[in-house]
Amino acid sequence: MNTPRIMKDFSTSFEIACQQRVIFYYVGYFSQNVVAAMADAVRLQLEMSGVNGPTRRKLFSSFIEMAQNIIHYSADSLTPGDQDNHEMRHGSVCISEKEGQYLLQCANPIDATVAEDLRERLQSLRSMTLEEIKQACRESLRAETPEGSKGAGLGFLTMARDSSEPLEFDFQPLQDHPETVVFNLKATI
Amino acid sequence: METLYIAATPSSPEVNFDFGQHQLSIRGESYPENAAAFYGDIIKRLREYLANCTKTRINVDISLAYFNSSSTKMLFNIFEALNSAVDAGNEVILNWYHYEEDDTILEFGQELHVDFPEISFFDRPVKTA
């Protein structure tokens, strides 16, 4: 995969989307160590930005879910695809503030073949009420882990539960890379 | 049975299962990269210990400031194992610590309490620092 070109393609729109008051922004490779170090910075920055406690917790939680999704699922991986620990994969994440609301955005390339499945899952989440989301969390906690999931299939549900609006998402095609699309996800908290 | 001790890291909790004293604790942060791998052995050791317990009073302290979605699933498995131990004739006292303003962890504790009624569950809110 031609990494620099892909990253140029999708970091431009990502930067435009981040032109609010940016609290935290990172583009690059994500590993567990990178995420743990970012977690420190994010916590402190949210505190210094005057965000209240409950909102900080929700932002932090969704930030971790997004960052770990990049570690697990980005199609741009430095480590072999079948390795399931100490992974390092490429993506970006941005926390910003706009008119009193906090926006969390992330982006990473994915295989075009998995986009449809993601679209279905996210689309169905968008139509659910908070109570239905909580019920779905309870059910998937008791269910077997879905195939292809490295977590518990609970990541999107957790983000949806903590968001004040339905999760937004889109898939950007990449010129010259028909097998890859950029997955953008946005949570409003 | 030998104590199971795992030191905390920035993204994984301290695990201190003093099986000899029947005192088990998990505290810190829990968002390891691979929660199933991190908790897999812990749960295995826990089950081995519980299988050998009879009419034992087991104290469990869980004090996590944050846990990610995949850790949630693992905590659920731990509770499941503890609940079975009560069915087998033991007593499990569980202290569930959380910051008092943390509704997510409070609610998760309440759900566990409803799901696993055999465990003596104590909600322990802590004042936010």
State the Cα–Cα distance between residues B16 and B7, nearest whole angstrom.
Answer: 8
Helix (H, G, I), strand (E, B) or coil at A148: coil
Interface test with B, best of A34, A52, A55, A57 (most B CBs within 10 A): A57
Instruction: Give chain A's domain count.
Output: 1
DSSP letter string, B41-72: HHHHHHHHHHHT-SS-EEEEEEEEEEE-HHHH
Distances (CA, A) of A180 to A6, A30, B58: 9, 19, 52
Residue A12 confidence class, pLDDT cut points 50, 70, 90: low
Choose among A64, A141, A142: nearest Cβ to B31. Answer: A64
Q: Does the structure show a pLDDT above 70 at A149?
A: no
Smallest CA–CA separation between A47 and chain B, in Å? 13
**pTM of the model as a whole:** 0.90
State the Cα–Cα distance between residues A20 and A25, nearest whole angstrom.
Answer: 12
Average pLDDT, chain A: 87
Contact A150 B102 (CB under 8 A): no
CB B84 within 8 A of CB B115: no
Residues A21-41: tens digit of each pLDDT: 888 999 999 999 999 999 999
Q: How many CB pairs below 8 Å do chains A and B form together?
A: 74
Helices A53-73/A155-162 angle, 10° precision: 150
Q: Which residue has the higher pLDDT, A175 or B126?
A: B126
Residues A154-184: tens digit of each pLDDT: 899 999 999 999 999 999 998 888 899 999 9
Q: Does the structure show a pLDDT above 60 at A5?
A: no
Residues B27-63: tens digit of each pLDDT: 999 999 999 999 999 999 999 999 999 999 999 999 9
Choose among A60, A138, A145: nearest Cβ to B66. Answer: A60
Q: Which CATH architecture has domain B4-126?
A: 2-Layer Sandwich (3.30)
ipTM score of complex: 0.92
State the Cα–Cα distance between residues A72 and A7, nearest whole angstrom.
Answer: 18
- Work out the percent of chain A whose per-residue pLDDT is above 90: 60
Residue A142 confidence class, pLDDT cut points 50, 70, 90: confident
Residues A63-104: tens digit of each pLDDT: 999 999 999 999 988 888 777 788 899 999 999 988 889 999
State the Cα–Cα distance between residues B8 and B29, nearest whole angstrom.
Answer: 8
Q: Does the structure show a pLDDT above 80 at A19?
A: no
Contact A86 B66 (CB under 8 A): no
Count of residues in chain A: 189
Residue A9 confidence class, pLDDT cut points 50, 70, 90: low
Choose among B10, B11, B68: nearest Cβ to A65. Answer: B68
Contact B33 A158 (CB under 8 A): no
Token pair for residue A151? 């977590």
- Number of H helices and number of E strands within chain A? 6, 5
CATH number at A162 reads 3.30.565
Say which amino acid occupies A170. Answer: D
Would you kindly state where each structural domain of chain B is located, as residue ranges?
4-126
Domain that holds residue A91: 5-188
Residue A2 confidence class, pLDDT cut points 50, 70, 90: very low
Q: Does the structure show a pLDDT above 90 at A1?
A: no
Token pair for residue A166? 């339905």
Phi and psi of A10, rounded to 5°? -100, -10
pLDDT at A81: 76
Choose among A35, A36, A53: nearest Cβ to B101. Answer: A53
